[in-house]
Amino acid sequence: MPSLKMSNLRPLPLSFFLRPAAQVARDLLGRTLLNETPLGLCGGVIVETEAYDQSDPASHSAQGKTERNQMMFEMGGTAYVYRSYGVHWCFNVTTGKKENGAAVLIRAIEPIIGIEQMRTRRLQTMRDCSNRDLARGPGRLCQALQIDDSYNGHTLLSPPLMLSSPVGFKRPQYVTTPRIGITKATETPWRFCVYKSTFLSGPKPQS
DNA sequence: CGACCGATTGACT
DNA sequence: GTCAATCGGTCGG
Protein backbone atom coordinates (compact mmCIF):
# COMPACT_ATOMS: atom_id res chain seq x y z
CA MET A 1 0.00 0.00 0.00
CA PRO A 2 1.13 3.56 -0.65
CA SER A 3 2.61 5.32 2.30
CA LEU A 4 0.98 8.36 3.85
CA LYS A 5 4.50 9.72 3.92
CA MET A 6 4.54 10.03 0.16
CA SER A 7 4.22 13.75 0.62
CA ASN A 8 5.69 16.02 3.25
CA LEU A 9 2.33 17.87 3.34
CA ARG A 10 4.13 21.16 3.07
CA PRO A 11 2.52 23.11 0.26
CA LEU A 12 4.61 24.54 -2.54
CA PRO A 13 5.41 28.19 -1.68
CA LEU A 14 3.86 31.22 -3.31
CA SER A 15 7.13 31.93 -5.14
CA PHE A 16 6.69 28.67 -7.06
CA PHE A 17 3.56 30.06 -8.70
CA LEU A 18 4.83 33.58 -9.39
CA ARG A 19 6.34 32.53 -12.72
CA PRO A 20 5.14 32.12 -16.33
CA ALA A 21 2.51 29.38 -16.77
CA ALA A 22 4.66 27.18 -19.00
CA GLN A 23 7.43 27.08 -16.39
CA VAL A 24 5.00 26.23 -13.62
CA ALA A 25 3.33 23.58 -15.80
CA ARG A 26 6.67 21.90 -16.40
CA ASP A 27 7.73 22.07 -12.76
CA LEU A 28 4.45 20.62 -11.51
CA LEU A 29 5.26 17.28 -13.15
CA GLY A 30 6.17 14.81 -10.45
CA ARG A 31 4.63 16.91 -7.64
CA THR A 32 1.69 15.73 -5.59
CA LEU A 33 -1.87 16.98 -5.71
CA LEU A 34 -3.72 16.19 -2.49
CA ASN A 35 -7.19 16.83 -1.15
CA GLU A 36 -8.38 16.26 2.40
CA THR A 37 -11.96 15.05 2.09
CA PRO A 38 -14.40 13.82 4.75
CA LEU A 39 -13.26 10.32 3.78
CA GLY A 40 -9.60 11.19 4.36
CA LEU A 41 -6.62 12.18 2.28
CA CYS A 42 -6.61 11.40 -1.43
CA GLY A 43 -4.37 12.32 -4.32
CA GLY A 44 -1.38 11.32 -6.38
CA VAL A 45 1.52 12.39 -8.56
CA ILE A 46 0.93 14.86 -11.38
CA VAL A 47 1.84 13.37 -14.76
CA GLU A 48 0.20 15.75 -17.25
CA THR A 49 -0.36 19.53 -17.35
CA GLU A 50 -1.17 22.29 -19.83
CA ALA A 51 -0.28 26.00 -19.70
CA TYR A 52 -2.55 28.90 -20.67
CA ASP A 53 -1.92 32.65 -20.55
CA GLN A 54 -3.55 35.88 -21.54
CA SER A 55 -1.67 36.22 -24.84
CA ASP A 56 -3.13 32.88 -25.91
CA PRO A 57 -6.32 32.89 -28.02
CA ALA A 58 -7.24 29.46 -26.66
CA SER A 59 -7.15 30.68 -23.06
CA HIS A 60 -10.30 31.60 -21.15
CA SER A 61 -8.49 34.78 -20.12
CA ALA A 62 -7.84 35.94 -23.69
CA GLN A 63 -10.98 38.11 -23.84
CA GLY A 64 -10.56 39.61 -20.39
CA LYS A 65 -12.29 39.00 -17.10
CA THR A 66 -15.83 37.61 -16.84
CA GLU A 67 -17.85 36.21 -13.97
CA ARG A 68 -16.87 32.71 -14.98
CA ASN A 69 -13.10 33.20 -15.38
CA GLN A 70 -12.44 35.88 -12.74
CA MET A 71 -10.46 33.54 -10.48
CA MET A 72 -8.00 32.99 -13.31
CA PHE A 73 -6.91 36.60 -12.67
CA GLU A 74 -6.20 36.03 -8.99
CA MET A 75 -2.69 35.77 -7.56
CA GLY A 76 -0.59 32.71 -8.41
CA GLY A 77 -1.45 29.64 -6.33
CA THR A 78 -5.22 30.15 -6.54
CA ALA A 79 -7.61 27.44 -7.75
CA TYR A 80 -9.59 28.16 -10.91
CA VAL A 81 -12.34 25.57 -11.36
CA TYR A 82 -14.71 25.77 -14.31
CA ARG A 83 -17.42 23.60 -15.84
CA SER A 84 -16.50 21.95 -19.12
CA TYR A 85 -19.11 21.01 -21.70
CA GLY A 86 -21.74 21.70 -19.05
CA VAL A 87 -20.91 18.37 -17.42
CA HIS A 88 -17.43 18.11 -15.95
CA TRP A 89 -15.24 20.18 -13.66
CA CYS A 90 -11.70 21.17 -14.67
CA PHE A 91 -9.07 22.22 -12.13
CA ASN A 92 -6.39 24.85 -12.75
CA VAL A 93 -3.85 26.65 -10.60
CA THR A 94 -3.16 30.29 -11.43
CA THR A 95 0.35 31.60 -12.03
CA GLY A 96 1.98 35.01 -11.86
CA LYS A 97 0.81 38.15 -10.14
CA LYS A 98 -2.79 39.18 -9.62
CA GLU A 99 -4.51 40.21 -12.89
CA ASN A 100 -2.01 38.13 -14.89
CA GLY A 101 -4.70 35.84 -16.30
CA ALA A 102 -2.54 32.71 -16.58
CA ALA A 103 -3.08 29.21 -15.24
CA VAL A 104 -2.01 25.58 -15.47
CA LEU A 105 -4.64 22.91 -16.18
CA ILE A 106 -3.95 19.70 -14.26
CA ARG A 107 -4.92 16.96 -16.72
CA ALA A 108 -3.89 13.70 -15.05
CA ILE A 109 -2.40 12.19 -11.91
CA GLU A 110 -1.12 8.78 -11.00
CA PRO A 111 -3.37 7.87 -8.05
CA ILE A 112 -1.43 7.05 -4.87
CA ILE A 113 -3.49 7.82 -1.76
CA GLY A 114 -7.20 7.29 -1.09
CA ILE A 115 -7.70 5.05 -4.09
CA GLU A 116 -10.82 3.46 -2.64
CA GLN A 117 -12.62 6.74 -2.02
CA MET A 118 -11.62 7.93 -5.48
CA ARG A 119 -13.00 4.75 -7.01
CA THR A 120 -16.24 5.18 -5.07
CA ARG A 121 -16.78 8.60 -6.59
CA ARG A 122 -15.83 7.51 -10.10
CA LEU A 123 -18.20 4.54 -9.94
CA GLN A 124 -21.08 6.96 -9.51
CA THR A 125 -20.85 7.53 -13.26
CA MET A 126 -19.00 4.42 -14.44
CA ARG A 127 -19.80 0.74 -14.28
CA ASP A 128 -16.18 -0.13 -13.87
CA CYS A 129 -13.00 1.84 -13.28
CA SER A 130 -9.39 0.72 -13.36
CA ASN A 131 -6.77 2.53 -11.30
CA ARG A 132 -5.47 3.88 -14.57
CA ASP A 133 -8.81 5.55 -15.36
CA LEU A 134 -9.36 7.08 -11.92
CA ALA A 135 -7.80 10.44 -12.76
CA ARG A 136 -6.78 10.27 -16.43
CA GLY A 137 -8.24 13.45 -17.92
CA PRO A 138 -9.22 16.74 -16.25
CA GLY A 139 -12.88 15.87 -15.67
CA ARG A 140 -12.14 12.43 -14.26
CA LEU A 141 -9.44 13.87 -12.02
CA CYS A 142 -11.87 16.36 -10.49
CA GLN A 143 -14.48 13.69 -9.85
CA ALA A 144 -11.92 11.36 -8.28
CA LEU A 145 -10.50 14.06 -5.98
CA GLN A 146 -13.92 15.59 -5.21
CA ILE A 147 -12.92 18.93 -6.71
CA ASP A 148 -15.89 21.08 -7.71
CA ASP A 149 -16.80 24.75 -7.97
CA SER A 150 -16.75 25.13 -4.19
CA TYR A 151 -12.94 25.19 -4.59
CA ASN A 152 -12.99 27.98 -7.14
CA GLY A 153 -10.87 30.85 -5.80
CA HIS A 154 -9.50 28.73 -2.95
CA THR A 155 -5.80 29.11 -2.17
CA LEU A 156 -3.65 26.04 -2.79
CA LEU A 157 -1.06 27.24 -0.28
CA SER A 158 -2.90 25.61 2.63
CA PRO A 159 -5.22 22.63 3.23
CA PRO A 160 -7.49 21.03 2.27
CA LEU A 161 -6.47 21.20 -1.39
CA MET A 162 -2.70 21.42 -1.84
CA LEU A 163 0.19 21.01 -4.23
CA SER A 164 3.38 19.74 -2.66
CA SER A 165 6.48 17.67 -3.31
CA PRO A 166 6.72 13.93 -2.69
CA VAL A 167 9.46 12.76 -0.36
CA GLY A 168 12.67 12.56 -2.35
CA PHE A 169 11.24 14.58 -5.23
CA LYS A 170 13.27 14.64 -8.43
CA ARG A 171 12.15 16.34 -11.59
CA PRO A 172 11.01 13.60 -13.98
CA GLN A 173 11.91 13.29 -17.63
CA TYR A 174 9.12 14.79 -19.71
CA VAL A 175 7.92 15.47 -23.24
CA THR A 176 5.90 18.36 -24.68
CA THR A 177 3.08 18.16 -27.24
CA PRO A 178 0.32 20.40 -28.59
CA ARG A 179 -2.53 20.79 -26.12
CA ILE A 180 -5.61 18.59 -26.24
CA GLY A 181 -8.86 19.76 -27.76
CA ILE A 182 -7.55 23.14 -28.94
CA THR A 183 -8.96 24.36 -32.23
CA LYS A 184 -8.24 28.08 -31.95
CA ALA A 185 -5.00 29.78 -32.83
CA THR A 186 -1.60 28.58 -33.76
CA GLU A 187 -0.92 25.84 -31.30
CA THR A 188 2.08 25.92 -28.98
CA PRO A 189 3.65 22.81 -27.39
CA TRP A 190 2.29 23.68 -23.96
CA ARG A 191 1.17 20.23 -22.89
CA PHE A 192 3.70 18.64 -20.52
CA CYS A 193 3.76 14.89 -19.91
CA VAL A 194 5.89 12.68 -17.69
CA TYR A 195 7.95 10.54 -20.07
CA LYS A 196 6.37 7.13 -20.64
CA SER A 197 3.79 7.49 -17.87
CA THR A 198 0.90 5.06 -18.32
CA PHE A 199 -1.53 7.48 -16.63
CA LEU A 200 -1.74 10.10 -19.43
CA SER A 201 -4.91 11.22 -21.19
CA GLY A 202 -5.30 11.67 -24.93
CA PRO A 203 -2.99 10.37 -27.64
CA LYS A 204 0.35 8.98 -26.61
CA PRO A 205 2.97 11.74 -26.78
CA GLN A 206 5.81 9.37 -27.65
CA SER A 207 6.04 6.59 -30.22
C1' DC B 1 -33.31 36.14 -27.99
C1' DG B 2 -31.67 31.84 -30.37
C1' DA B 3 -27.92 29.27 -32.38
C1' DC B 4 -23.62 27.47 -31.95
C1' DC B 5 -19.30 26.07 -29.69
C1' DG B 6 -16.11 24.28 -26.19
C1' DA B 7 -9.26 23.32 -22.09
C1' DT B 8 -14.72 16.35 -21.92
C1' DT B 9 -16.40 11.98 -20.97
C1' DG B 10 -18.68 7.49 -21.42
C1' DA B 11 -21.63 4.43 -23.99
C1' DC B 12 -22.16 2.43 -28.09
C1' DT B 13 -21.52 0.68 -33.51
C1' DG C 1 -14.90 5.21 -35.22
C1' DT C 2 -19.82 7.89 -33.58
C1' DC C 3 -22.71 10.60 -30.53
C1' DA C 4 -25.41 12.64 -26.58
C1' DA C 5 -25.26 15.06 -22.13
C1' DT C 6 -25.59 19.94 -20.63
C1' DC C 7 -24.50 25.00 -19.72
C1' DG C 8 -21.88 29.56 -19.84
C1' DG C 9 -19.86 32.51 -23.31
C1' DT C 10 -20.12 34.65 -27.65
C1' DC C 11 -22.00 36.30 -31.73
C1' DG C 12 -25.74 37.47 -35.14
C1' DG C 13 -30.44 39.21 -35.85
Q: By three-state DSSP, how is residue A144 classified? A: helix
Q: Answer yes or no: is A134 CB < 7 A from strand B.
A: no
Q: Give the pLDDT mean for A32-47.
A: 96
Whether pLDDT at A4 is above 90: no
Name the protein residue, with chain letter, whose CA is nearest the C1' of B10: A126
In single-letter form, the type of residue at position A50 comes to: E
Whether pLDDT at A2 is above 60: no
User: CA at A5, C1' at C10: how many angstroms apart?
Assistant: 47
Q: Answer yes or no: is A65 CB < 7 A from strand C.
A: no
Strand B nucleotides within a 7 Å radius of protein CB atoms: 5-11
Q: How many Å apart are CA A74 and CA A44, to the nearest integer? A: 25
Q: Answer yes or no: is A63 CB < 7 A from strand C.
A: yes
pLDDT tens for A111-153 read: 999 999 999 999 988 888 899 999 999 999 999 999 999 999 9
Measure Cα distances from A137 to A49, A88, A134 in Å: 10, 10, 9
User: CA at A106, C1' at B11: how many angstroms apart?
Assistant: 25
